[in-house]
Amino acid sequence: MTDPYLDLLPRLRRIHRLSGAMALLSWDQEVTMPAGGARSRAGHRAALAEIIHAQLTDPEVGKLLADVAARDDLSREARADVRETTRARDRAVKLPAALVRELAETAALAHPEWVKARADDDWQRFAPHLAKLVELKRQEAAALGSVDEPYDALLDEFEPGLRTAEMVEIFAGLRPALADLVGRFTTPDPDALSLPAGPYPAATQGELSRRILTAIGYDFEAGRLDISAHPFTESMGHGDVRVTSAFHADNLLSGISSTMHEGGHALYEMGLPESLRETPAGQAVSLGIHESQSRLWENHVGRGLPFCRWLAPLLAETFADQFGGTTPEAIYRAANVVQPSPVRIEADEVTYNLHIVLRFEIERALFAGQLEPAGVPDAWRQFTRQDLGLDLADDRRGALQDIHWCTGSFGYFPTYTLGNLYAAMFWNQARTDLPDLDQQLAAGEFGSLLGWLREKIHERGSILTAAELCRDITGRDLCADDFVAYLEAKHGELNSL
Amino acid sequence: MTDPYLDLLPRLRRIHRLSGAMALLSWDQEVTMPAGGARSRAGHRAALAEIIHAQLTDPEVGKLLADVAARDDLSREARADVRETTRARDRAVKLPAALVRELAETAALAHPEWVKARADDDWQRFAPHLAKLVELKRQEAAALGSVDEPYDALLDEFEPGLRTAEMVEIFAGLRPALADLVGRFTTPDPDALSLPAGPYPAATQGELSRRILTAIGYDFEAGRLDISAHPFTESMGHGDVRVTSAFHADNLLSGISSTMHEGGHALYEMGLPESLRETPAGQAVSLGIHESQSRLWENHVGRGLPFCRWLAPLLAETFADQFGGTTPEAIYRAANVVQPSPVRIEADEVTYNLHIVLRFEIERALFAGQLEPAGVPDAWRQFTRQDLGLDLADDRRGALQDIHWCTGSFGYFPTYTLGNLYAAMFWNQARTDLPDLDQQLAAGEFGSLLGWLREKIHERGSILTAAELCRDITGRDLCADDFVAYLEAKHGELNSL
C-alpha cells in the first residue's frame, strides 16, 4: 500500500512551482515589463491562474488530502501541509474557473492604469478598473460565503480565519488609544526637527539601501533591489527573494523606511526552512506574521535610537555634504516626528494604524454594499478629514496611493495592523531574550536579532498557525497592549527630551 | 452544431499564453534573476513545461484538430493553425511527460553553470550538464523518430521538416565556395583597418544601441534592451519583445552587430499580425526565416556602406574623442574585415557559416553516437584548426562560447545558415522592389525597408510555410546562389578599392 502523502507531495510541489512562476509575472510587471506588454501579461496571468486553480481543485487532490488526513501517524510538517492545502482548496473549489481567470486578467490590466492614474492624479482613469475589480471580488466573496459579512471571506485570504468582527474589536480598542497618543505626542514643530533638505539622488539612496540590506542580513546572491511605483517584496521561491524600494530626492528617511520594511519581509522569506522548500508547511504562515517582520525591522529597529547610532556615520559617509554634523539623536528625532500625513507608507508609528482604519472602513463598506466604487475618493477625503484631520488636495496622495486594490487585494490592509501588534509583542520578547540588543544594534550587529527571529519564526514556516506561534513565542494571545505601551514609552521619552 | 474551431481557439490561446510565461522565466533567468534562484527556476520551468505538454497532448485537442481539419470551409488562418498545432502536437504526444519535465529542469540548471564555466574557462564545470542534456536529447530524438538519422528529429523542432541530408547537401555546395572566398578575400592586414581602440564604456554603447534600435523601428514602449552573457531576443507576446546585447570595451563593432542582429529578430516579432495574436497562425513561421531577419539587418543593412554613412556621424557624436575623423568608408572596411576568428557571433560574413558547419558536424556526430559529450572540446579544436585554420587557446572562445546547448537547443545552429541564404534572396528582392534603398539607408530612413519586410514576411505570420514564403517573395526555392554572389560582389569590390 502506498503512502498517500508521497502521492500528494509532488502535486503540492507543482502548485508551488506554478505559483512561483506567477510571482515572477507579477514582479516583472511592476519592475521590468515595458508598457506595451500589459495585455499579453493579463493573458499570461489569467492562463496561469486558471491552471493553478485546476491543479488545486483536481478531485484527486481532494481524495489524497482526505486519505492523508485520516492517518494517525502524521508528522507535524505533514499536518501543516494538510491544514494549509485544505484551506486553500476549500476556497478554490467554491470559485468558478471563469471568475478566477477573469480576476487575474482584470487585475493585470488594472495595474498599469493605476500606475498612470497615480502619476497623473487622474482618478477617472482608474475608476472603471476599480469598479470591475470590486464587482468581481463581490462575486468571489458571495461564492466563498462568510461567517458574518462578505468582507470576512476576503480577510480570510490573507489572515486565515480572521473575521471582520475581530478587526472591529481590535480597532475599537486601538482607535481611542491612538487618538489619545496623537493628541499628546503630535510634534509641535516638525520643521525644526527635519533632516537636511537634500537633494538625495536616487542612485545614491539605492547604494545606501544596498548597504543597509546587506548589514541586516539580506543576501544579494538570493535577491535583488529595484525601484518600483510602490515598494514590495516578491519571492519566486527559495533562493530568489526580491525587494523594491522607492526613493524621493527630498525625503531620505522615506526610502530608508521602505527598504527596512521590505527587508523585513525578505528576511522572513529568506529564513524559511530549506528542508521544507516547495511544501505548504515551509511557507510563511500568514500576512499578519509577515507584516510583523516588516514592521519590526522598519520601526522597532529602524526607528530606534540604537539603529540611528549605527546609521549616522553611514549617512555622513554617503551624503557628506549634508550630514556632516548630524547626530544620531537628530536622526532619531526626525524619524519619529508624529504628524498626521496623507500617505500611509510615510506615516509615523503613532498615526499609521489610523490609515489602516480608514482603508478597513472603506473596504468593509464596499463589500457590505454601503459604498459604491465611484464614491471611494469622497469617502477617502471624508475619513482623512475625520481620522487624520487633513484636507486632501489630490487623489494621488489619497485613494490612489496604494497598489493593493489594483492587484485585487481587498482585505489585505488589516494585516498591517495585526503586524504592528505582533511586532510589538515579539520585540518585547526579543529584548527579554537578548539583553545586549541595543548595544548590538548600535554597533551594526544585527545577527543575533535575526538569529532569534529565524529560530522563533522564520524556520518554523507554517508548522504552527499564527495564533499558536504568537502563544508559543510570547505566552500570550494577540493583543494591542504591547504596541500601545511601546508607543507610550517611546514617545513619552521623546517628548520629555 | 458548434464550430469546432471556436472550441479549439481558446485552447490554443491558453497554450500560447503559458508559453509566454515560460518565455519570461527564460528571459529573467538570463537577465535579472539572482544566482541563488537557479534551483527554484528549474522547478518553475519543469512544472510549466509539463503543463504545456499536457495541454497540447490533451485528447480533446486531438479530437478538435481532427474535426477542424475535416472541414472544407477553413480560412487560411485556420488552416495554418491546424498545420502548426498538428505539427507541435504530433511531436508532443511522442514524448513522455517525465522527459519533458526533466529536460526543462536540466536545462534551467545547466544555464547558470554554463555562464560560470564560460566566464572561468572551466569546461569541467559544464561537462556533466552537457552530458545529461545530450543523454536526454538522445532519448527525445529516439522517441520522436526520424527519417534518416536521429538528428533529423532535432532539426525539425526549429525548422519544420528540415532533414539532416538537406543540410548536408547545402553545406556540400557552400563549403567549397566559402573556402574559395576565404582564400581570395581574407584581409591581408586587418590591423591597418581597425577602428580607434576605445575604450568604449558599456553604458555609452548601450545608449548608442538604443538610438540605433529606435532608428530602425524598434519600439521601446513594447520592449527593452538589456545586457546578457549571450545576446538574444525573447518575445513574451504581442507588445513585449525584449532584446539583449553584449558590449566589449575594446570592440565597438561587435556590440553594434549584436544589437542589429537582435533588432532584426525583434522587428519580426513586433511586426507579427496583431489580428492573429495568441494564435499559431500569428507567430513566426520558422527559425530559418527568423534568422533571415536578424542576419539581413546585421549584415546586408548593418555591414553595408549606406548604413555606415548614416552611422559615421552618430559615432562621431557618441565617441567624439575617438571618432573625430573616421570616414564612413573606414567604418565600412573595418566592419567587413575577412579574418577567420574563433567566436561565431563576431565572425565576418564570409567565415560565419564555417562556424555553423563546425557545430553541425559536432551535433550530428553527438546524435549519431559517433562522439561523446566529453570529446566535444577536442573535436571543437580539431574542427577549428581544420575549417578556420586556428589553434584555440581556451574553451571560453571555443566549445563554451554559445548558449544554445545549455538551453537544450540542439539542431538550432543550422537555421543560421538557412537564415543567411534566405536573407540574401530577400535582400536582392528588396533592392529590386525599392530602387532608392541605398539612399534611404544612408539617410537613416529605414521605414520603407521595414515596411517591405512587414508586408512580405512579418504580417503573414505562419500562414505560408517557410518554403512557400520564399517562393512567394522571390519566385524561387531556397538556394545558396544569392548569398555566394552577394559575398563575391561585395568583397570583390572591397578588395579592388
CB contact under 8 Å between B21 and A47, yes or no, is yes
Q: Are residues B169 and B278 in the same domain?
A: yes
Question: In Å, how far are A317, A331, A430, B268 from A439, measured between CA atoms?
Answer: 21, 18, 14, 61
Report the number of distinct structural domains present in chain A.
2
**Residue B144 falls inside a structural domain:** no
Q: How far apart are CA B49 and CA B104, in angstroms?
A: 7
The domain boundary residue, chosen from A90, A114, A145? A145
Q: Strand A240-245 and strand A225-227: pairing? A: parallel
Instruction: Determine contact, residues A350/A178, Cβ cutoff 8 Å.
Output: yes
Q: Are residues A134 and A239 in the same domain?
A: no
pLDDT of A167 higher than 90: yes
CB contact under 8 Å between A43 and B17, yes or no, is yes
pLDDT at position A371 is 96
CB contact under 8 Å between A14 and B219, yes or no, is no
**pLDDT tens, position by position, A230-254:** 899 999 999 999 999 999 999 999 9
Q: How far apart are CA A27 and CA A230, in angstroms?
A: 11
Q: Rounded to the nearest 5 degrees, what angle is found at the Cα of B170, between the Cα atoms of B164 and B172?
A: 100
CA atoms within 13 A on the CB side of A2: 7
Instruction: Determine contact, residues A437/A430, Cβ cutoff 8 Å.
Output: yes
**Residue B149 falls inside a structural domain:** no
CB contact under 8 Å between B37 and A220, yes or no, is no
Query: Where in the sequence is the domain holding B125, given as residue range(s)?
Result: 4-129
Chain A residues 224-253 within an 8 A CB cutoff of chain B: 224, 236-240, 242
Structure-block grid coordinates of residue B111: 544555464
The verdict on B69 touching A (C-beta cutoff 8 Å) is: no
Q: Are residues B414 and B326 in the same domain?
A: yes
Structure-block grid coordinates of residue A283: 511557507
Task: Measure CB to CB from residue B34 to each of A20, A44, A221 and give the nearest one.
Answer: A221
Instruction: Determine contact, residues A364/A379, Cβ cutoff 8 Å.
Output: no
Beta bridge partners of residue A227, listed in sequence order:
A245
Determine which one of A157, A262, A349, A363 is catalytic.
A262
pLDDT at position B458 is 98
Instruction: Determine contact, residues A236/B37, Cβ cutoff 8 Å.
Output: yes
Mean pLDDT of A99-126: 96
**pLDDT tens, position by position, A72-96:** 999 999 999 999 999 999 999 999 9
Interface test with A, best of B16, B33, B44, B228 (most A CBs within 10 A): B44
CB contact under 8 Å between B37 and A239, yes or no, is yes
pLDDT band at A1 (very low <50, low <70, confident <90, very high): low
**Residue A308 falls inside a structural domain:** yes
CB contact under 8 Å between B17 and A47, yes or no, is yes
Chain A residues whose beta carbon lies within 8 Å of the beta carbon of residue B37: 222, 236-237, 239-240
The verdict on A40 touching B (C-beta cutoff 8 Å) is: yes
CATH number of the domain to which A464 belongs: 1.10.1370.30
- The complex scores an ipTM of 0.95
Interface test with A, best of B13, B14, B24 (most A CBs within 10 A): B24
Q: Are residues B43 and B180 in the same domain?
A: no
CB contact under 8 Å between B37 and A278, yes or no, is no
Q: Are residues B102 and B170 in the same domain?
A: no
Choose among A417, A426, A415, A416: nearest CA to A482. Answer: A426
pLDDT at position A457 is 98
Q: Rounded to the nearest 5 degrees, what angle is found at the Cα of A125, between the Cα atoms of A103 and A105?
A: 15
pLDDT at position A324 is 81
Q: Are residues B123 and B169 in the same domain?
A: no
**Residue B453 falls inside a structural domain:** yes
**Residue A150 falls inside a structural domain:** no
Question: In Å, how far are B108, B163, B380 from B80, measured between CA atoms?
Answer: 31, 21, 40
**Residue B143 falls inside a structural domain:** no
The verdict on B23 touching A (C-beta cutoff 8 Å) is: no
pLDDT at position B229 is 82
Q: Rounded to the nearest 5 degrees, what angle is found at the Cα of A454, between the Cα atoms of A451 and A460?
A: 155
Higher pLDDT, B2 or A14: A14
pLDDT at position B1 is 59
The domain boundary residue, chosen from B106, B129, B152? B129
CA atoms within 13 A on the CB side of B39: 8
This prediction has a pTM of 0.96
Contacts of A169 (CB under 8 A, 6+ apart): none
What is the Cα A170 distance to its own chain's centre?
18
Pick from A15-19, A408-412, B146-150: least confident: B146-150
pLDDT of A97 higher than 70: yes
pLDDT at position B146 is 86
**Residue A159 falls inside a structural domain:** no
Structure-block grid coordinates of residue A62: 481532494
The verdict on A12 touching B (C-beta cutoff 8 Å) is: no
Point out the residues of chain B with pLDDT beneath 50: none
Chain A residues whose beta carbon lies within 8 Å of the beta carbon of residue B278: 43
**pLDDT tens, position by position, A43-73:** 999 999 999 999 999 999 999 999 999 999 9
Structure-block grid coordinates of residue A491: 514617545
Q: Are residues A236 and A333 in the same domain?
A: yes
Give the distance from residue B222's alpha carbon to the nearest chain A alpha carbon, in angstroms.
Answer: 4
Q: Are residues B354 and B460 in the same domain?
A: yes
Instruction: Determine contact, residues B306/B312, Cβ cutoff 8 Å.
Output: no
Q: Are residues A141 and A173 in the same domain?
A: no
Instruction: Determine contact, residues A124/A45, Cβ cutoff 8 Å.
Output: no
Q: How many CB pairs under 8 A join A and B?
A: 135
Interface test with B, best of A39, A102, A235, A240 (most B CBs within 10 A): A240
CB contact under 8 Å between A18 and B47, yes or no, is yes
Beta bridge partners of residue B398, listed in sequence order:
none
Instruction: Determine contact, residues A312/A326, Cβ cutoff 8 Å.
Output: yes
> Which chain B residue is nearest to residue A12, measuring alpha carbons?
B47
The verdict on A36 touching B (C-beta cutoff 8 Å) is: yes
Q: Are residues A168 and A243 in the same domain?
A: yes
**Residue A14 falls inside a structural domain:** yes
CB contact under 8 Å between A34 and B278, yes or no, is no
Chain A residues whose beta carbon lies within 8 Å of the beta carbon of residue B239: 34, 36-40
Give the distance from residue A113's alpha carbon to the nearest chain B alpha carbon, in angstroms.
Answer: 15
Q: Are residues B182 and B84 in the same domain?
A: no
Q: Are residues A96 and A187 in the same domain?
A: no
> Which chain A residue is nearest to residue B14, measuring alpha carbons?
A47
Give the distance from residue A37's alpha carbon to the nearest chain B alpha carbon, in angstroms.
Answer: 5
Give the distance from residue A24's alpha carbon to the nearest chain B alpha carbon, in angstroms.
Answer: 7
Give the distance from residue A226's alpha carbon to the nearest chain B alpha carbon, in angstroms.
Answer: 10
The domain boundary residue, chosen from B129, B156, B188? B129
Sign of the four-CA dihedral B64, B68, B69, B70: positive
pLDDT of A383 higher than 80: yes
